Amino acid sequence: MAMEAEAAPLGEAIGAFRSESPPWARALPCRLDVAPATASRPEVVLAVNGIDPRTGVDCIGSTAAALTTQTVLTAYPGDEIDLVLSVGTAGGWSRLGADIGDVYMAWDRFVSHDRRIDIPGFDAFARGDLPAADLRHHAAALGCRTGIVTTGDSLDESPDDQERIRASGAEVKEMEAAAVAWVAHLHGVPVGAVKAITDLVDSPVSTSEQFTANLAAAAQSLRETTLALLDRLGADS
């Protein structure tokens, strides 16, 4: 997860306690909390990007997300982690039927919309097209929508971004998932995403205004949906 405010309700609900970072990760802002397995739930490592020491805000975005994912998958090698989930808030589009408060699961892939490299081979690398774990039956059971998740390092949507997002067919816009997915794929671990819509990109109201108004409610729905998903994953295993 990217932001403390997104992670706090979930961390509290699963009873996650702080685990000490491994020595090689001490310089990184990310934070790993661990919640032991329960009768219904698998063990969960709740990894949060943490606070940037220079500016004092959450380390949102792809660089920190990649570092956090690498830290988790090194501290808990691949055979111990069954699934990586990128959980957080996101923008949606009313033209695609999204509403504030909807929760999406990623399907069928993660893409990047602000990595433009017009050279054969590098264009595909930049876009990503990283497959998402098939959580569609869980999404259906939990009343979640599914859609392609698109990642970029800006909150706004530039005209270039808009064109690329339309071409990719993405329905969920955020700033971390494709980076998390890239690192998870390097480790051979399946990756999914749970994203609560805080803002509608095609609304006349500014994204930051919508985001601020809806963050607390979104964090609660992330908690509810992720808890329910963890229970279902526990029941499957």
Contact positions toward ligand SAH, by CB under 6 A? 2-3, 60, 88-91, 155, 173-176, 198-199, 201, 207-208, 211-212
Catalytic residue among 58, 102, 161, 199: 199
Residue 176 C-beta: closest distance to ligand SAH, Å: 5
Catalytic residue among 6, 161, 174, 176: 6
d(CA 57, CA 4) in angstroms, rounded, equals 10
Q: Is 156 a catalytic residue?
A: no
d(CA 177, CA 69) in angstroms, rounded, equals 10
Query: Phi/psi zone of residue 129: left (φ > 0), alpha (ψ -120 to 50 degrees), beta?
Result: left
Residue 71 C-beta: closest distance to ligand SAH, Å: 17
What DSSP letter does each residue of 166-207 carry, written as one string? HHHT--EEESSHHHHHHHHHHTT--EEEEEEEEEETTSSS-H
Residue 40 vs 158, nearer CB to ligand SAH: 158
d(CA 45, CA 55) in angstroms, rounded, equals 26
Residue 7 vs 72, nearer CB to ligand SAH: 7
Residue 74 vs 207, nearer CB to ligand SAH: 207
Tell me the chain's radius of gyration from C-alpha atoms: 17
d(CA 47, CA 71) in angstroms, rounded, equals 9
Q: Is 199 a catalytic residue?
A: yes
Residue 10 vs 41, nearer CB to ligand SAH: 10
Residue 177 C-beta: closest distance to ligand SAH, Å: 8
Residue 230 C-beta: closest distance to ligand SAH, Å: 21
Phi, psi of 176 (to 5 degrees): -135, -35
Q: Which residues are catalytic?
A: 6, 199
